[in-house]
Structure 1
Amino acid sequence: MAEAPVAEVGVFGGSGFYRFLDDVTEVTVETPHGPTSAPVAIGRVGERRVAFIPRHGAHHELPPHLLPYRANVWALHALGVTNVFGPCASGSLQPHVAPGSFVVPDQLVDRTSGRADTFFDGPTVHHVAFADPYDHDLRQVALAACRAEGVEVHDGGTVVVVQGPRFSTRAESRWYGGQGWEVINMTQHPEAVLCREAGLRYAAIALITDFDAGLEGSGVPAVTQEEVFAFFEANVDTVRRVLFRALAAPLPTGRLEAGPGF
Structure 2
Amino acid sequence: MPWWFSYKHNGPDFTMFGAAHLSVLTLLIIACLYFILARETFRNSPKLDRNIRYTLAACLIFLEASYHIWYIVNDAWSVQFALPLHLSSITLITCIFMLITGHKRLIEITFFAGVSSAFLTLITPDVGNFGYPHFRFFHFFLSHAIVIIASIYMIAVKKTMLTFSSVMTVWLYTNLYAALIFLVNFITDGNYLYLMRKPAGPSPFDWFGPWPYYILVLQLVSLILFVFMYGLYQLLFRKGHHHNRKGNNYMHE
Q: TM-score, normalised to structure 1's length?
A: 0.24
Structure with the higher fraction of residues in strand conformation: 1
Bigger Rg, structure 1 or 2: 2
- More helix by percentage: 2
